């Protein structure tokens, strides 16, 4: 049926909608996420999210309830199992309950929406998922962000900035956030909310107060469009990455928020010069960009940084590692250069 063979049809490898959505919903504090499917689906995701929490030095386990569909429900329908899971979740008195479907529930045709519309005494929010039947990982992330955004009402803007769609499973998520906050504070701006990264429903309610939304990456443009339509908030399509683009980011944010950019840009140029001076010993080193085929955007940044340090990029050079996602801001470049130096000196 598929016209594309294994290697070229990359959409096949982009993960599960359910995992993407859970990476967002489980970051709403005080909430419970129900996975309507076999317990294995919930276990796979709980294990992944738990491991990620440990990597981030956290100990809080996400709260996920499985409707535990087994052969019986697959034959006779799983709506009663979803009702039991909802009753259990409601008994925990959460701030809200997210209901996420799986490919197996979609295949057997359960009407999860109808079960969610019953009054459970707490807000029940169905999120469009459906495992691979719902799309891919990023689609799950975007669906969850748009669904949760709809719980907030428009409000008056207060000159702050929202950070939208942080990759909650990313190893460097906190470091990337710290760098973005540093750049914003250089412009005299503060973060309104991290949407959605460990925020409560009360905090989400003020989503519309920001003057600007900064998206994690361009794959979230549909979320940026959704938020602009709902709240009228402008957005920038990605976190800053690269020497030139980090400076340009400061100018773009300043322009949208109506603040002067020159002092912050001058200060950041000085920071970048300090970083490049710190790694001046790498000048004229010959490097090969490791994994360039997998990290195209990181490759572009790596070439820019190598050029700034007068390093030579050559297939016969020392293979240096590239970040999976492009390094964020000047701090991201500094960490990347430490990894390069370790590899070059190894």
Helical H segments across 17-102, by residue range: 17-25, 39-55, 71-76, 79-91
133: exposed, middle or buried (Cβ count in 10 Å: 0-12, 13-18, 19+): middle
Q: With binding defined as CB under 8 A, does residue 48 bind other proteins?
A: yes
Q: With binding defined as CB under 8 A, does residue 254 bind other proteins?
A: no
Q: Which is nearer to other proteins, 61 or 283 (CB)?
A: 61
User: CA 259, 149, 332 angle in degrees (round to 5)?
Assistant: 55
Identify which range of 77-85, 154-162, 206-214, 300-308 contacts other proteins by CB under 8 A.
77-85
Q: With binding defined as CB under 8 A, does residue 14 bind other proteins?
A: yes
Q: Which of residues 24, 97, 125, 136 is near other proteins by CB under 8 A?
A: 136
Q: With binding defined as CB under 8 A, does residue 142 bind other proteins?
A: no
Contact 9, 15 (CB under 8 A): no
Q: With binding defined as CB under 8 A, does residue 19 bind other proteins?
A: yes
Contacts (CB under 8 A) with other proteins, residues 195-224: none
Q: With binding defined as CB under 8 A, does residue 324 bind other proteins?
A: no
Q: With binding defined as CB under 8 A, does residue 117 bind other proteins?
A: no
Separation of first and last alpha carbons in the chain: 48
320: exposed, middle or buried (Cβ count in 10 Å: 0-12, 13-18, 19+): buried
Q: With binding defined as CB under 8 A, does residue 46 bind other proteins?
A: yes
Look up tokens 């540093």; give the residue. 182
Identify which range of 49-57, 230-238, 248-256, 287-295 contacts other proteins by CB under 8 A.
49-57
Q: Which is nearer to other proteins, 130 or 240 (CB)?
A: 130
Query: Phi, psi (5° rounding) for residue 266?
Result: -60, -45
- Give the number of other Cβ atoms within 10 Å of residue 160's Cβ: 17
Identify which range of 132-140, 142-150, 193-201, 337-345 contacts other proteins by CB under 8 A.
132-140
Q: With binding defined as CB under 8 A, does residue 329 bind other proteins?
A: no
Q: What share of the chain is helix, strand, coil (3-state, %, to 5)?
A: 50, 15, 35
Q: For binding to other proteins (CB under 8 A), which residues are involved?
A: 1-2, 5-6, 11-19, 37-44, 46-48, 50-51, 53-55, 59, 61-74, 81, 84-85, 88, 103-104, 107-108, 131-133, 136
């Amino acid at each position: 049926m598929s016209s594309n063979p294994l290697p070229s049809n990359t959409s096949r490898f982009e993960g599960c909608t359910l995992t993407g959505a859970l990476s967002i919903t489980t970051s709403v504090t005080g909430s419970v996420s129900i996975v309507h499917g076999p317990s294995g689906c919930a276990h796979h995701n709980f294990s992944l999210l738990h491991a990620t929490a440990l990597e981030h030095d956290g100990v809080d386990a996400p709260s996920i309830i499985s409707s535990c569909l087994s052969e019986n429900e697959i034959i006779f329908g799983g709506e009663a199992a979803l009702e039991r899971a909802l009753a259990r979740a409601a008994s925990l008195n959460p701030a809200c309950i997210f209901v996420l479907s799986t490919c197996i529930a979609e295949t057997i045709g359960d009407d999860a929406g109808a079960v969610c519309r019953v009054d459970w005494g707490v807000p029940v929010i169905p999120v469009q998922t459906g495992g691979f039947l719902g799309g891919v990982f990023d689609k799950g992330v975007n669906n969850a962000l748009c669904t949760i955004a709809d719980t907030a009402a428009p409000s008056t803007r207060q000159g702050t900035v929202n950070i939208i769609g942080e990759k909650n499973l990313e190893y460097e998520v906190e470091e990337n956030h710290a760098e973005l906050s540093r750049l914003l504070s250089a412009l005299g701006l503060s973060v309104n909310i991290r949407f959605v990264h460990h925020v409560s429903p009360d905090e989400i309610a003020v989503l519309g107060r920001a003057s600007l939304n900064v998206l994690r990456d361009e794959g979230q443009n549909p979320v940026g469009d959704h938020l602009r339509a709902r709240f009228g908030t402008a957005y920038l399509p990605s976190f800053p990455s690269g020497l030139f683009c980090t400076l340009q980011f400061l100018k773009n944010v300043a322009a949208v928020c109506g603040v002067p950019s020159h002092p912050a840009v001058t200060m950041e140029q000085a920071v970048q010069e300090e970083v490049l001076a710190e790694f001046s010993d790498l000048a004229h080193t010959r490097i090969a960009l490791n994994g360039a085929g997998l990290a195209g955007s990181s490759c572009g940044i790596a070439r820019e940084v190598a050029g700034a340090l007068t390093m030579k990029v050559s297939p016969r050079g020392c293979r240096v590692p590239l970040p999976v996602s492009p390094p964020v801001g000047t701090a991201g470049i500094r960490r990347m250069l430490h990894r390069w130096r370790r590899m070059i000196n190894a």
